[in-house]
Amino acid sequence: MNSIEESLKNHPIEEFGLQGCTIRLLKQNHIHSLYDLFQKTEEDFMKMAFIYQFKEYMGHKRFLRRKELHLLLTKIDEFKSSM
């Protein structure tokens, strides 16, 4: 593992500037750091868009919306291109 990957493990996904509801959904899918986020493929995120996710604090179901998915994938692409 190189030093860039190691440093990404130390950064929580909250630093990526996403909305709170999107962050909660990612954490429910075992994505807690930027390293975890960048290991996922577009196909993994598409699966999250069609599987109901639980909002722990409200007790109702929701899923990753298309707009959230598009924003997330765009931010990941921008971040990777800036590296």
The pLDDT value given to residue 50: 64
The residue ranges of every structural domain in the chain are 3-82
The pLDDT value given to residue 10: 85
Query: How many residues can be counted in the chain?
Result: 83
Neighbours of 34 (CB within 10 A): 21
Per-residue pLDDT of the chain (83 residues; tens, 9 = 90+): 577 777 888 888 888 888 887 888 888 888 899 889 888 888 888 777 765 555 554 555 566 777 788 888 888 888 878 87
On the 0-12 / 13-18 / 19+ scale of CB atoms within 10 A, 72 is buried
The pLDDT value given to residue 61: 55
**Please, which residues have CB within 8 angstroms of residue 4's CB and are 6 or more apart in sequence?**
83
Identify the CATH homologous superfamily for domain 3-82: 5' to 3' exonuclease, C-terminal subdomain (1.10.150.20)
The pLDDT value given to residue 18: 84
Distance between CA atoms of 21 and 4, rounded to whole angstroms? 27
Distance between CA atoms of 2 and 53, rounded to whole angstroms? 33
